[in-house]
Chains A and B, each alone.
Chain A
Amino acid sequence: MFAVTVTTSTFVLVGAVFLACAVEMVEALTIVLAVGHTRGWRSAFEGTAVALVALSALVAVFGPALVHVPLNALRLVVGAVLLIFGLQWLRKAILRSAGLKAKHDEDAAYAEAVAELTNLSPEVNRDRVAFVMAFKGVFLEGLEVVITVLTLGTSAHRLGLAAIVAAIALILVGAIGLAVSRQLSAVPENAMKMGVGVMLVSFGTFWTGEGLRVRWPGSDASLLGFIALYLVVTWLLVGVTRRAMPAATKVAA
């Protein structure tokens, strides 16, 4: 019984952290690649490195501090944050799948960043614009990863595992991204975002309940029930929303 519950929550935790990190990494990588290709790689890498150091410092400061917060209070706050964050992701993914919102196009994001950067005059030695753009891209996208890893990891008492999974996602997406370079649009981003949304809302429901002394039937295994329930609801909402909208109002993918 113990082995089953550990496997269930670990499996869901690993999946949620990996997918969330991968999605954010793809978005950050698009910006870094655009900066590198147009303004040079040195400043792009420097901006990325400084952002990663800043993010690591945040984890080092807030990670250990979170462990000292009473567990029920932590789970309640984390559950509420995950619910809000997850519902936002899921809503956006549903609207995109239903054709009411344009899908996040990495090719378009890349082209936009390149156009913005090529209009600026080049700087010799250290390129401030390239540095700031790479830093901002990696730091802002990375901040969402840090919040996901810290909240999920500390609530489940598996911060180490969450951090390792995030690092694996970072290395994998980084390596694949550099290999395929400008073909990041091939990544099924909306499907991944939908998956992350479902998992975050499931964790949010679970931890909010635990924080408010709700005793879930099946304990940790109820997470799988939430995932199944929210997947069905998401599928229904996409279908209903798609059917309810006239074709003229739909956005091309």
Chain B
Amino acid sequence: MSAIAKRIVVGFGRFWWDFLVGDTPELFVAVVAVLVVIALVSVAAGANTWAVALLPVMVIGALATSVRRAANKRP
């Protein structure tokens, strides 16, 4: 791989890492968890009502946890 191609690949990877993970890895992990749980509940178990209720609740939980984590970090 040429040096320019390597730089482009590394730059592309770094952009997406910063964009999706950045300084809030807990949000990335939370969204992955949302995908896994809702896939299990909706696709595998076919429990639509549970999926409808769980998805926004998990999103709110992720946001509240991340805000709390940031607030606790401050001296």
Contacts and interface: CB of A to CB of B under 8 A. Distances in A.
A210 B39 CA distance: 11
Interface residues of B, number: 33
Interface of chain B, main secondary structure? helix
A230 B34 CA distance: 17
A84 B28 contact: yes
Given A100-B71, A214-B38, A245-B71, A87 B55 contact: no
A230 B32 CA distance: 20
Contacts of B34: 83, 208
Contact of B67 (A147, A204, A237): A237
Contacts of A237: 63-64, 67
A91 B67 contact: yes
B27 A88 contact: yes
Contacts of A87: 24, 27, 30-31, 59, 62-63, 66
Contacts of B39: 212
Describe A's contact surface by its main secondary structure. helix
Interface of A: 76, 80-81, 83-85, 87-88, 90-91, 94-95, 98, 100-101, 143, 147, 201, 204-205, 208-209, 212-217, 226, 229-230, 233, 237, 241, 244-245, 249
Interface of B: 15, 19-20, 22, 24, 27-28, 30-32, 34-35, 38-39, 42-43, 48, 51-52, 55-56, 59-60, 62-64, 66-68, 70-71, 74-75
Given A91-B27, A205-B55, 11 more contacts: A80-B31, A80-B35, A83-B31, A84-B27, A87-B62, A91-B63, A91-B70, A100-B74, A208-B55, A212-B42, A244-B71
